């Protein structure tokens, strides 16, 4: 890590700072926003920009260390993009259903 | 520059852990089950990011696998939980 | 770091033991899960704590054991994880069967009289 | 006997190579063998296979979505941090009439909606004609519906149907 | 043949594993094969065990040095790899296991095996676990085999389901899971302080520890000891045992008779190895003595209070376990051989007794239709599993088998034999075991000056016998000789045979007490002089590649 | 050889007898008779060898390490008893042939009778004391069988149990005593023991051993205070009583006393115990005998009394007394057996033995009456009969027993009193049964029995007469032989004569005769008293026995509840406490707390992580009762932090596995939650009882203390330097010798693959168990309905909307997850293949694959998935295990040991260098077993939703049914 070239270190550092801020803000939504339906929007920030930035930073750093392109972080992106809608959809559906039942009872 | 990078890593990691704490707050607080599930899901993603940071910090590829596993299957638990909330059982006939 | 991990093990153990001593089967199974975390971490501790030294050999010329974390407790924990997983599954099914056959989720198969 | 699903196999091979982070010949061979086997094995569970038509549209679409994601990240972040003081943030459900029926297109739409902070997929009517979304900051309901249909649904229909 | 001989130590583990796995593959319709394979497996294990027994008598010195066989799994020598170590004690326990397994298995074929799926697999896996636990020379591997045998025992315990079994099974599993955690903590601490897992190596490295580290090591060993004692059924850790053993189906209880002995074995094995050298872990012995005494008290009281034969026998298992531990706690090396004799005899006796109990109240077995108000799973899901829902084995075919005349006479005689065995009365082997203990206590006291510990053990031996007689005659008269509601059960050769086999085995132990005691004596000697064991384990080389 | 035959023949005969058909009364009798006669003949044939102190020995090595050898030893005394046992056996067999009814299952009877005979012969002929105990207990056992012969009778069962309990307890005491005795002598060999009298008497353990041995002997001989079992043993068939309770078994006790007399006698303790028991039995037995209603009861108490007489003699520490004792053993055997037979004949012919109902039988059965008369006279000590002779010797001994008024007056007086009792009950026995008018209302009309039945008692009476009239010519030499073998050179001078002149003993005899007559006259003629004892014994032995037994059982029943618990919580609490205490003991006083290893610098982020973990764990602990789902989620949080910890401290494999297991466990528990009806939070509303609160506080404290304890243990180890033994080896060899970079994986699949082998077996066994248990699953009644959400959503009915995808909300998730399946499969294979060099391996790979499959079930439903996919998880398990085993056995082909890794290097076109290793096969086995097991478990639970109630259940909301479910369960049963 000590001999990380500048071309990798500089953008990676910036990306990491962005990722940290965005993710924290996204998770803050869980604390600050008033109800479930609004809160669910927060983590999406971490899922997208937060994860994406870290992954790019990781790719930069790995490639720099391995002295060849290391791209497998792309897979993480792929899997998150594919899997997070499933969770979110079902969770929203569940919340709506449970709110409905609660209102009816 | 490397020092700045180190600080960035440290900063990001701190942010992720703080984010995890936010998620934990919701996890404990609820009030509804779906809030907790959402919090757990967030906790998983933030945990994955923390892992990636460990990977960047150490320069080891080993952490990538863990992160990938969370990305690929962290959702299975959340889906199961959501499905349970929604349908009363995880696997229907 | 050591003190944090020791405290963590302590908290997990205490929560696990507390749940283990509760009367409802679900509490017991949660206690078993928490205890398994505690025990796994405990075994893991026996290799002492190393940061950034995963026991993945860097090359044929880097075979100094001091460069790597102790792999043995890790292997033991792996086995232990699998076994706890299996037994948790078993316990779950038994508690379900007990719930169905006895009509209660009390660990003794009947509600206490008091 | 249906033919080997080429696209899926290709994607799988790519994934394999990415996983191993290599382009070595033995990995290409092994990856191909495994991918074909898996694609065939999973076929029973995938009676409906996606048929991609205008693949060239995909990069453009992805770029557009990325921009949207970045924008909405900022928007949501401001709301979370309480920086939007000038007006009251109103969140709520909107119903979008859908023309697209292809499940894979819908999946992509779901991914996009989910990935974009500020919008959340809240349900699809049983006949698939109506999509309910939850919007964090509903300024103008019809503007949202228009955006979803033109920016996302139409390109996706062109790719998948 | 010599090749097979070279791999002999692993055979008792491998054969049941393979057969257990193959059983999973066989369709339910292939009843013949499904039955023949396990029987063949057990017979093979008996043969292997006897061969091991023979080899440990130092009869082939060019193969095994000093009668201790070491088999390095994966060709990694001790302490780095896992080694199987066959000394006399291990060979004895493996033989005992197979000899208890055969009758239990044959007995189970009287449809006991068909009240639920997977019986034969689990039975074989249980044997694998038992044999592995007896043969392994590695502490963590011991844990793994403990888990194998426990997992199988959970399955067997619950075999047939029903409220009683499930309730008892829940307790059994909870307690054993907790004990497994203790086992892990103990092993972990031992590793943490010594850096090794091989038991022989451990014994050597102990001497290198300073006092503080030694204290930590002993704490680990003590926790490990508690885990063993839970298995051995020591008071106050054995309240689960009577319910579990009496609720299990008869052939299962019969094989469970060996389970408490595993705990005793572990105490003996680990205890003697760790206590080698000058430093004795004396508080463990003190604990064993008092724990054993308390266990005897508990067992005796339980026997006297028991209203059902099954529970009574279970309590007798506890009492005998207590006697073994109390004797071991005396720290009298002369007692070890008698303890082993008694261990063997009581295992055989309890096994026979549990099977007998199963024959006397078979009606209780057929209560599984309790779940009849819920439909079985539809066919489609079974097809998903690749099985067909079998016909309920309890309904029609229950009464197959040859009925032999004089059922009551046989049952009565078998009962009396079991009473003799449990109470330690002549002429069966229980008597020899108890006498041998008394003999050893008295003989080893200098000038016959017995300490109060010795007197306590003598009293315990006699009191256990007496209590067993009181309790068993009470229940026996009610079971076999009361007129009211007496229906002569149909006796089947397949059930009676195993019981008779075990009783004859016990008779054989009495008659052959001479050679048996000679063997056990040398087993005990080598246990108390573990240098040979340690040396052989350390010097054993891996098998050379064949030319 | 003859010796071994004497003991072995009865046992062989017993075995044969057991297998004869149940109606073969004659064959049984012949068999038994021949055995008895042969034994008698053999015994007789050995007489020349035992006369004048000769000893016949036969021994076989048995267990030399235990000092045991099978050894038979016949000297004069043993010869006498052997003859008595076998001869009496022959007579009893003859008698029994006619006594037993054709309906009785005779094989059992004769089989046990012969076994008893063998055991008794074993007792008297044992040359090894332990072996004697063996046969001793065998007599107890066979006598139990014989007493309980008519087991349908409650009195038989009770009598048998009492006899068994007492004699077995005595036998155990005897064993203890004999063991101590043998220790002093250094051998259990009788010869050696008999030669070591002084050493024994002087030894510190003498008093213990003599007490134990006497307990054995006195219980066997039914001596006070253990006498009470004998009268109840009269429930046995009369031949049994005649044999066991007159001639043989009860004699075993006094036999042993005389046998060991040379080495044990001569001490105060011996004198007081033996004489005390003997005297008490003599008087009490005689007194009680006078008031019995049952003929056999009279005889039983009379036996107690006469054995008391013998015991008293043996306690006197005088050689002459020993002679008298031995003599009386013989005499008592003859007349008492004859009387028992007579009583049996009366019972057999009239159907009753009640003295009050019987009367005047002499008219109907004169021969029997004569025989009984003579025998009873012998019992009473009438001159010219054998009983007279030994009783005279007894009287003589009492006079010289000791000094002081107590002995010189008291003992003779007591003896005379006992003599009077004896006369009185003998008189009553004869007079009330055989004299007076012939009783009319008897169950059967009395008449003389068949000759065969009377013959044995006639023979015995003849013996009584012969010995009584011509003692010196008949019994004299044999008695001498017997006595000489015990006393050797110390044998005193004595004379066996009917007439010694007018001596004090004769006066006592006459006094006893007249006194007895008077007592009888007063009690029954004048007062006409009922046959209840006018003086109740202060302690009724039988009642005491019953009370003690019941008390023991009641007490134990209470105790067992006190010292144990069937409650799981208590058990787990005890385990926790015991293990904590066990770990605590060695740490006391040791400086174990902190070692010298420098610590890692504290990272606040890590601490923050564990704040999260701890909060989750504590939250789960708090919520698990009423908010299961919340607890489950919190446990998931703690699991995640655990996983991160593994990652943090350089354990990627662990983190990987932990995360995979975590996910699968969550799904599993959720699957289970469906079958756990909701728990309503009523407990929070109800005020907790004080007891419950105390319990909670206690548990809280214990949990805290244990947690602190484990934490400090962990800390103590962490602060000490690591001991690198195994790890160094593994790190050095993993790459060079095992061809893998990931040391953890190399350990798992190569160095310690045997652990992994066991581990997958555990997983497989559990899966099979889960499956088996769920096959007979019966859901809780409240959970049987389809969950509410599904019932309300009718759209679910049309699962497939034509294109194979579900309609509605699962449509898109199903599409996505189906796309994910092959990718997940690829990832799982990736983990499988690369494990040797990087984190991963078969286990993680398998879990990933199973999770992928489970997700399909979640989004598409069981029926749809299984209609398209045959999974056969059991086959996966089996093949996985077999594959792993095959990988192990492969090494055999190369002559290496099990699980040795084999490498195969080759070249393939296009691919290039190819390394195949048996390790990969092993890991593949692991993979398959894991996939099979996990899928089997998960799916087996999921399948339960396919069960539907057969009965129509109430259709109310499952959530709302708070009614106690137990009633419903009862109804279901
Ligand atoms: Na979104
Ligand atoms: Na009368």
pLDDT recorded at residue D64: 92
Which residue of D29, D107, D128 is in closest CB contact with F816?
D107
The answer to whether the Cβ–Cβ distance between B81 and F633 falls below 8 Å is yes
E77 close to F (CB below 8 A): no
The answer to whether the Cβ–Cβ distance between D110 and F795 falls below 8 Å is no
pLDDT recorded at residue C7: 95
Which residue of D25, D103, D126 is in closest CB contact with F912?
D25
Taking only residues 213 to 252 of chain E, the set having a beta carbon closer than 8 angstroms to any beta carbon of chain C reads none
Ligand 2 mean position, distance from CA F523 (Å): 14
pLDDT recorded at residue E279: 55
- pLDDT higher than threshold 80 for residue E90: yes
pLDDT recorded at residue F577: 94
Chain F closest-CA separation from residue D121 CA (Å):
10
Note whether C touches D: 3 CB pairs or more under 8 A.
Answer: no
Closest CA to E191 of F752, C14, C82: F752
Q: Pairing between strand F912-917 and F903-908?
A: antiparallel
pLDDT recorded at residue E397: 38
Q: Pairing between strand F903-908 and D130-135?
A: unpaired
The answer to whether the Cβ–Cβ distance between A27 and B23 falls below 8 Å is yes
Taking only residues 26 to 45 of chain B, the set having a beta carbon closer than 8 angstroms to any beta carbon of chain A reads 26, 32-35, 37-39, 41-42, 45
The answer to whether the Cβ–Cβ distance between A44 and D113 falls below 8 Å is no
The answer to whether the Cβ–Cβ distance between A81 and D73 falls below 8 Å is no
Cα–Cα distances (Å) from F310 to E374, F315, F415, in that order, read: 74, 9, 12
- pLDDT higher than threshold 90 for residue E366: no
Chains in contact with C, where contact means 3 or more Cβ–Cβ distances below 8 Å, are: B, E, F
Chains in contact with B, where contact means 3 or more Cβ–Cβ distances below 8 Å, are: A, C, F
> E369: how many CB neighbours lie within 10 A of its CB?
12
User: Could you state, in chain order, the average pLDDT of each consecutive group of 10 residues for chain F (973 residues)?
Assistant: 89 87 81 92 92 88 87 92 93 90 82 93 93 92 87 83 88 91 89 89 89 94 88 89 88 93 90 92 90 88 93 90 92 92 90 85 89 92 88 86 73 91 91 86 84 90 90 88 89 82 86 90 68 55 81 89 89 93 84 75 92 95 88 94 92 90 92 81 62 90 95 91 86 85 89 92 93 82 75 55 72 88 91 82 90 89 82 90 93 88 78 77 93 91 75 39 32 30
Contacts of residues E106-109 at CB distance under 8 Å and 24 or more positions apart, as own/partner, are E106/E39, E106/E494, E106/E497, E106/E498, E107/E250, E107/E251, E107/E254, E107/E355, E107/E358, E107/E494, E107/E495, E107/E498, E107/E499, E108/E251, E108/E252, E109/E35, E109/E494
F820 close to A (CB below 8 A): yes
Ligand 1 mean position, distance from CA D119 (Å): 4
Mean pLDDT of chain E: 84
Interface probe with A: pick from B5, B24, B51, most Cβ of A within 10 Å: B5
Give residue-wise pLDDT tens across range E239-291. Answer: 999 999 988 888 999 999 998 899 999 988 988 888 765 555 667 778 889 99
- Could you give the 3-state DSSP secondary structure of residue F916? strand
Q: How many CB pairs under 8 A join B and F?
A: 163
Q: Between helices F366-380 and F386-399, what is the axis angle to 10°?
A: 10
Closest CA to B19 of D141, A19, E412, F590: A19
More confident residue, E97 or E443: E97
Nearest residue of F to residue E542 by CA position?
A: F897
E87 close to F (CB below 8 A): no
Chains in contact with D, where contact means 3 or more Cβ–Cβ distances below 8 Å, are: A, F
Nearest residue of B to residue F648 by CA position?
A: B54
The answer to whether the Cβ–Cβ distance between C107 and E188 falls below 8 Å is no
Q: Which ligand is nearest to the CA of F429?
A: 2
Nearest residue of B to residue C55 by CA position?
A: B62
Q: Pairing between strand F56-63 and E83-86?
A: unpaired
B93 close to F (CB below 8 A): yes
In chain F, residues with a C-beta closer than 8 Å to the C-beta of C49 are 600, 649, 718
pLDDT recorded at residue F793: 64
Residue E486: band (very low, low, confident or very high) from pLDDT cuts 50, 70, 90: very low
Cα–Cα distances (Å) from F345 to E286, F342, F371, in that order, read: 63, 5, 11
Nearest residue of C to residue B59 by CA position?
A: C52
Ligand 1 mean position, distance from CA D118 (Å): 5
**Polymer length in residues for chain A:** 105
Quick check: E100 and E346 in contact, CB under 8 A? no
The answer to whether the Cβ–Cβ distance between D12 and F808 falls below 8 Å is no
- Cβ partners under 8 Å of residue F377, min gap 6: F385, F387, F426
CA of residue E73 relative to chain centroid, distance? 24
What is the ipTM, given to two decimal places? 0.93
Residue F754 token pair: 């045997």
Lowest mean pLDDT among E2-16, E149-163, F533-547, F561-575: F533-547
Ligand 2 mean position, distance from CA F433 (Å): 5
Q: How many CB pairs under 8 A join B and C?
A: 7
**Does F225 sit behind a cis peptide bond, omega within 30 degrees of 0 on the bond before it?**
yes
Q: Between helices F873-893 and E11-25, what is the axis angle to 10°?
A: 150
Exposure of F722 in the CB half-sphere (CA atoms within 13 A): 22
Closest CA to F132 of F120, F141, F143, F144: F120
Give residue-wise pLDDT tens across range D84-133. Answer: 888 888 889 999 998 888 888 888 899 999 989 889 998 888 888 889 99
Give residue-wise pLDDT tens across range B25-80. Answer: 999 987 889 999 999 999 999 999 999 998 888 877 778 888 888 888 888 999 99
C81 close to F (CB below 8 A): yes
Ligand 2 mean position, distance from CA F353 (Å): 9
pTM for the predicted model, two decimal places: 0.91
Give residue-wise pLDDT tens across range D25-55. Answer: 888 888 999 999 988 888 777 767 777 778 8
Q: Pairing between strand F56-63 and F68-74?
A: antiparallel
pLDDT recorded at residue F686: 57
Share of chain D above pLDDT 70, in %: 98
Chains in contact with F, where contact means 3 or more Cβ–Cβ distances below 8 Å, are: A, B, C, D, E
End-to-end CA distance of chain A: 59
In chain F, residues with a C-beta closer than 8 Å to the C-beta of D121 are 812
Lowest mean pLDDT among E95-104, E524-533, F40-49, F589-598: F589-598
Mean pLDDT of E324-338: 89
pLDDT recorded at residue F543: 78
Give residue-wise pLDDT tens across range E301-312. Answer: 999 998 888 899
pLDDT recorded at residue F624: 84
B90 close to C (CB below 8 A): no
In chain D, residues with a C-beta closer than 8 Å to the C-beta of F912 are 25-26
| Residue listed under structure tokens 């010189």 | F408
> For residue F797, with 0-12 CB atoms within 10 Å meaning exposed, 13-18 middle and 19 or more buried, which class applies?
exposed
**Does B31 sit behind a cis peptide bond, omega within 30 degrees of 0 on the bond before it?**
yes
**CA-CA-CA-CA torsion sign (F57, F60, F64, F66):** negative
Cα–Cα distances (Å) from F759 to E141, E173, E258, in that order, read: 10, 18, 22
Which residue of F803, F826, F856 is in closest CB contact with D15?
F826
Architecture of domain C2-51+69-102: Orthogonal Bundle (1.10)
pLDDT recorded at residue F963: 32
> Where do the domains of chain C lie?
2-51+69-102
In chain E, residues with a C-beta closer than 8 Å to the C-beta of F576 are 178
Interface probe with B: pick from C52, C58, C62, C92, most Cβ of B within 10 Å: C52
Below-50 pLDDT ranges, chain C: none
Nearest residue of F to residue C78 by CA position?
A: F654
Which residue of C20, C43, C102 is in closest CB contact with E184?
C43
In chain F, residues with a C-beta closer than 8 Å to the C-beta of A82 are 816, 819-820
The answer to whether the Cβ–Cβ distance between C42 and F710 falls below 8 Å is yes
A44 close to B (CB below 8 A): no
Closest CA to A101 of F345, F790, D123, D161: F790
The phi and psi torsions of E465 (rounded to 5 degrees) equal -60, -45
Ligand 2 mean position, distance from CA F371 (Å): 18
pLDDT recorded at residue F949: 57
Chain D closest-CA separation from residue F879 CA (Å):
19
Exposure of E311 in the CB half-sphere (CA atoms within 13 A): 20
The answer to whether the Cβ–Cβ distance between D80 and A40 falls below 8 Å is no
CA-angle at D30, arms to D25 and D35, nearest 5°: 125
A91 close to F (CB below 8 A): no
pLDDT recorded at residue E364: 43
Taking only residues 239 to 258 of chain E, the set having a beta carbon closer than 8 angstroms to any beta carbon of chain F reads 239-240, 243
């Amino acid at each position: 890590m000590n001999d990380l070239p500048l071309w990798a270190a500089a953008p990676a550092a910036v990306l990491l700072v962005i990722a940290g801020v965005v993710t924290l803000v996204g998770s803050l939504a869980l604390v600050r926003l008033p109800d479930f339906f609004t809160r669910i929007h927060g983590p999406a920030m971490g899922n997208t920009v937060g994860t994406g930035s870290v992954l790019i930073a990781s790719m930069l750093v790995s490639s720099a260390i391995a002295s060849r392109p290391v791209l497998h972080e792309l897979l993480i992106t792929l899997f998150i993009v594919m899997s997070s809608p499933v969770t979110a959809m079902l969770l929203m559906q569940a919340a709506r259903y449970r709110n409905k039942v609660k209102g009816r009872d | 520059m490397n020092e700045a990078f180190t600080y960035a890593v440290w900063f990001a990691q701190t942010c992720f852990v703080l984010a995890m704490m936010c998620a934990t707050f919701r996890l404990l607080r609820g009030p509804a089950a779906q809030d907790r599930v959402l919090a757990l899901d967030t906790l998983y993603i933030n945990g994955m990011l923390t892992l990636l940071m460990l990977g960047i910090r150490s320069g080891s590829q080993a952490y990538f696998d863990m992160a990938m596993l969370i990305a690929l299957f962290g959702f299975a638990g959340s889906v199961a939980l959501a499905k349970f909330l929604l349908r009363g059982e995880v696997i229907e006939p | 770091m050591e003190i944090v991990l020791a405290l963590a093990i302590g908290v997990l153990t205490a929560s696990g033991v507390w749940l283990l001593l509760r009367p409802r089967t679900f509490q017991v199974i949660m206690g078993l899960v928490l205890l398994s975390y505690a025990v796994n971490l405990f075994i893991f501790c026996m290799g002492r704590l190393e940061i950034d030294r995963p026991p993945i050999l860097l090359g044929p010329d880097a075979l100094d054991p001091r460069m790597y974390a102790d792999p043995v407790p890790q292997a033991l924990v792996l086995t232990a994880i699998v076994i706890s997983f299996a037994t948790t599954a078993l316990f779950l099914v038994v508690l379900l069967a007990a719930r169905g056959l006895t009509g209660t989720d009390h660990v003794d198969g009947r509600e206490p009289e008091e | 006997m249906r033919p080997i699903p080429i696209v899926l196999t290709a994607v799988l091979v790519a994934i394999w190579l990415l996983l191993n982070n290599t382009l070595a010949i033995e990995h290409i061979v092994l990856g191909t063998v495994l991918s074909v086997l898996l694609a065939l094995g999973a076929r029973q569970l995938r009676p409906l296979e996606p048929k991609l038509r205008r693949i060239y549209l995909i990069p453009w679409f992805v770029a557009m979505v990325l921009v949207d994601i970045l924008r909405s990240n900022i928007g949501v972040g401001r709301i979370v941090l309480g920086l939007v003081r000038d007006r009251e943030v109103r969140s709520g459900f909107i119903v979008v009439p859908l023309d697209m029926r292809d499940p894979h297109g819908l999946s992509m739409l779901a991914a996009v909606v989910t990935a974009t902070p500020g919008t959340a997929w809240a349900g699809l009517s049983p006949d698939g004609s109506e999509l309910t979304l939850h919007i964090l900051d509903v300024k103008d309901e019809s503007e949202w519906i228009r955006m979803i249909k033109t920016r996302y649904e139409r390109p996706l229909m062109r790719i998948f149907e | 043949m010599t090749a097979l001989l070279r791999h002999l130590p692993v055979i008792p583990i491998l054969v049941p594993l393979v057969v257990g796995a193959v059983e999973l593959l066989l369709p339910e319709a292939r009843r013949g094969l499904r039955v023949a394979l396990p029987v063949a497996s057990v017979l093979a294990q008996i043969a292997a065990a006897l061969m091991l027994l023979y080899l440990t008598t130092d009869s082939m010195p060019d193969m095994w040095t000093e009668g201790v066989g070491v088999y390095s799994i994966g060709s990694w020598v001790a302490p780095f790899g896992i080694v199987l170590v066959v000394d006399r004690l291990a060979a004895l326990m493996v033989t005992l296991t197979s000899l208890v397994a055969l009758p239990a298995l044959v007995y189970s074929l009287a449809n006991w095996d068909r009240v639920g799926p997977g019986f034969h697999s689990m039975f074989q896996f249980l044997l694998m676990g038992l044999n592995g636990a007896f043969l392994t020379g590695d502490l963590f591997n011991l844990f793994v085999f403990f888990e194998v045998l426990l997992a199988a025992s959970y399955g067997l315990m619950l075999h047939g389901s029903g409220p009683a079994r499930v309730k008892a099974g829940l307790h059994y599993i909870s307690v054993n899971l907790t004990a497994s955690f203790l086992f892990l903590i103990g092993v972990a601490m031992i590793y943490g302080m010594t850096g090794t897992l091989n038991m022989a190596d451990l014994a050597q490295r102990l001497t290198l520890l300073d006092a503080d580290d030694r204290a930590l090591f002993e704490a680990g060993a003590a926790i490990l000891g508690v885990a063993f004692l839970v298995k051995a059924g020591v008071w106050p850790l054995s309240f689960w045992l009577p319910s579990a053993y009496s609720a299990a189906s008869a052939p299962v209880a019969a094989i469970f008779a060996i389970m408490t002995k595993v705990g005793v074995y572990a105490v003996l094995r680990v205890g003697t190895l760790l206590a080698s050298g000058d430093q004795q872990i004396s508080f463990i012995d003190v604990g064993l003595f008092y724990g054993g005494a308390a266990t005897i008290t508990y067992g005796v009281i339980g026997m006297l209070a028991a209203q059902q034969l099954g529970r009574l026998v279970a309590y007798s298992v506890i009492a005998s376990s207590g006697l073994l531990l109390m004797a071991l706690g005396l720290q009298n090396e002369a007692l070890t051989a008698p303890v082993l004799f008694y261990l063997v005899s009581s295992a055989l006796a309890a096994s026979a007794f549990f099977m007998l109990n199963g024959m006397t109240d078979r009606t209780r077995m057929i209560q599984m239709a309790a779940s009849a108000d819920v439909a079985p799973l539809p066919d489609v899901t079974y097809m998903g599993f690749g099985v067909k829902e079998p016909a309920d084995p309890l309904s029609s075919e229950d009464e197959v088998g040859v009925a032999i005349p004089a059922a009551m006479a046989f049952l009565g005689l078998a009962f009396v034999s079991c009473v003799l065995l449990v109470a330690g009365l002549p002429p069966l082997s229980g008597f020899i075991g108890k006498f041998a203990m008394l003999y050893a206590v008295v003989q080893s006291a200098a000038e016959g000056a017995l300490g109060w510990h010795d007197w306590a053990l003598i009293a315990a031996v006699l009191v256990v016998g007496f209590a067993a007689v009181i309790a068993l005659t009470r229940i026996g008269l009610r079971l076999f000789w009361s007129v009211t509601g007496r229906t002569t059960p149909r006796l089947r050769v397949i059930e009676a045979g195993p019981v008779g086999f075990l009783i004859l085995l016990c008779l054989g132990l009495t008659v052959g007490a001479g050679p048996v005691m000679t063997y056990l004596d040398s087993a005990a000697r080598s246990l108390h002089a573990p240098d040979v064991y340690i040396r052989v384990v350390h010097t054993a080389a891996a098998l050379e590649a064949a030319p | 050889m003859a010796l071994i035959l004497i003991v072995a023949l009865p046992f062989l005969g017993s075995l044969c007898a057991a297998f004869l058909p149940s109606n073969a009364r004659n064959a049984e009798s012949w068999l038994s008779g021949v055995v008895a006669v042969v034994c008698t003949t053999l015994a007789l044939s050995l007489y020349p060898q035992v006369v004048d102190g000769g000893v016949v020995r036969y021994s076989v090595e048995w267990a030399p390490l235990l000092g045991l050898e099978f050894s038979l030893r016949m000297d004069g005394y043993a010869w006498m008893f052997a003859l008595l046992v076998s001869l009496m056996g022959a007579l009893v067999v003859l008698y029994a042939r006619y006594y037993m009814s054709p309906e009785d299952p005779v094989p059992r009877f004769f089989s046990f009778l012969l076994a008893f005979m063998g055991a008794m012969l074993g007792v008297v002929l044992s040359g090894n004391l332990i072996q004697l105990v063996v046969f001793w207990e065998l007599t107890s056992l066979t006598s139990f069988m014989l007493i309980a012969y008519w087991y349908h009778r409650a009195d038989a069962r009770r009598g048998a149990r009492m006899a068994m309990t007492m004699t077995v307890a005595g036998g155990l005491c005897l064993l203890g005593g004999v063991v101590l005795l043998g220790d002093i002598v250094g051998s259990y060999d009788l010869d050696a023991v008999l030669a070591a009298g002084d050493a024994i008497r002087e030894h510190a353990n003498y008093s213990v051993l003599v007490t134990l041995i006497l307990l054995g002997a006195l219980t066997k001989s039914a001596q006070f205070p253990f006498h009470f079992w004998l009268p109840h043993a009269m429930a046995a068939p009369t031949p049994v009583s005649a044999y066991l309770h007159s001639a043989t078994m009860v004699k075993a006790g006094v036999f042993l006393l005389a046998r060991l007399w040379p080495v044990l006698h001569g001490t105060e303790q011996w004198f007081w115990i033996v004489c005390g028991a003997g005297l008490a039995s003599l008087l009490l037995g005689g007194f009680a005998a006078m008031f019995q209603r049952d003929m056999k009861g009279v005889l039983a108490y009379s036996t107690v009394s006469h054995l008391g007489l013998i015991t008293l003699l043996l306690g006197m520490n005088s050689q002459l007394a020993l002679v008298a004792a031995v003599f009386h053993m013989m005499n008592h055997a003859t007349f008492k057996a004859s009387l028992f037979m007579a009583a049996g004949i009366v019972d057999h012919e009239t159907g009753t033995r009640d003295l009050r109902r019987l009367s005047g039988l002499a008219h109907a059965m004169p021969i029997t009456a004569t025989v009984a008369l003579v025998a009873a006279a012998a019992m009473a000590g009438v001159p010219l009969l054998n009983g007279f002779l030994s009783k005279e010797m007894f009287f003589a001994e009492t006079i010289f027993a000791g000094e002081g008024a107590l002995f010189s007056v008291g003992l003779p007086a007591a003896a005379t009193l006992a003599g009077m009792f004896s006369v009185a009950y003998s008189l009553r026995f004869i007079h009330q049964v055989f004299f007076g008018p012939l009783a009319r209302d008897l169950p059967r009309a009395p008449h003389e029995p068949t000759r065969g039945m009377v013959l044995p008692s006639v023979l015995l009476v003849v013996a009584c007469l012969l010995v009584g009239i011509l003692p010196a010519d008949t019994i004299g030499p044999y008695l001498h032989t017997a006595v000489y073998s015990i006393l050797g050179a110390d044998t005193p001078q004595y004379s066996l004569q009917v007439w010694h002149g007018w001596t004090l003993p004769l006066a006592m005899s006459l006094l006893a005769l007249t006194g007895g007559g008077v007592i009888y006259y007063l009690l029954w003629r004048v007062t006409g008293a009922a046959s209840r004892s006018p003086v109740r014994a202060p302690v009724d032995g039988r009642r005491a026995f019953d009370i003690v037994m019941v008390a023991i059982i009641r007490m134990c029943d209470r105790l067992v509840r006190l010292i144990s618990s069937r409650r799981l919580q208590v058990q787990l609490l005890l385990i926790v406490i015991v293990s904590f205490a066990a770990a605590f003991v060695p740490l006391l006083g040791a400086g174990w707390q902190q070692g010298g290893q420098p610590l890692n610098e504290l990272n606040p982020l890590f601490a923050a992580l564990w704040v999260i973990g701890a909060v989750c764990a504590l939250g789960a602990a708090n919520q698990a009762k009423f908010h299961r789902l919340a607890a489950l989620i919190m446990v998931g949080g703690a699991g995640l932090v655990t996983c991160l910890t593994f990652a943090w401290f350089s354990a990627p494999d662990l983190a990987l596995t932990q995360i995979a297991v975590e996910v699968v466990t969550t799904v599993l528990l959720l699957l289970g939650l469906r079958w756990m009806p909701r728990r309503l939070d009523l407990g929070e509303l109800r005020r907790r009882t004080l007891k419950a609160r105390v319990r909670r506080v206690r548990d809280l404290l214990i949990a805290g203390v244990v947690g602190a304890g484990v934490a400090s243990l962990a800390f103590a180890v962490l602060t000490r330097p690591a001991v690198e033994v195994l790890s160094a080896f593994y790190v050095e060899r993993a790459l060079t010798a095992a061809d893998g970079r990931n040391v953890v994986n190399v350990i798992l699949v190569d160095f310690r693959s045997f652990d992994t082998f066991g581990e997958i077996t555990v997983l497989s066994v559990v899966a099979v168990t889960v499956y088996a248990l769920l096959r007979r699953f019966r859901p809780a009644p409240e959970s049987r309905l389809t969950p509410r959400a599904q019932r309300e959503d009718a759209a679910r009915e049309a699962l497939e909307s034509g294109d194979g995808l579900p309609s509605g909300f699962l449509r898109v998730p199903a599409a996505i997850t189906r796309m994910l399946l092959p990718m997940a499969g690829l990832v799982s294979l990736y983990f499988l293949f690369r494990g040797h060099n990087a984190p991963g391996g078969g286990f993680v790979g398998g879990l990933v694959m199973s999770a992928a499959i489970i997700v399909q079930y979640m989004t598409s439903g069981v029926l749809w998935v299984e209609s398209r996919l045959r999974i056969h998880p059991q086959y996966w398990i089996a093949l996985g295990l077999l594959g792993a085993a095959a990988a192990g056995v492969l090494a055999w082909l190369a002559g290496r040991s099990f699980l040795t890794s084999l490498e195969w290097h080759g070249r393939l076109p296009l691919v290039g260098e190819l390394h195949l290793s048996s390790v990969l096969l092993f890991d593949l086995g692991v993979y398959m077993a894991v996939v099979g097991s996990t899928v089997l478990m998960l799916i087996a639970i999921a399948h339960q939703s396919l069960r539907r109630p057969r009965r129509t259940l109430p259709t109310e909301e499952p959530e709302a049914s708070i009614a106690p479910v137990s009633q419903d369960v009862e109804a279901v049963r």
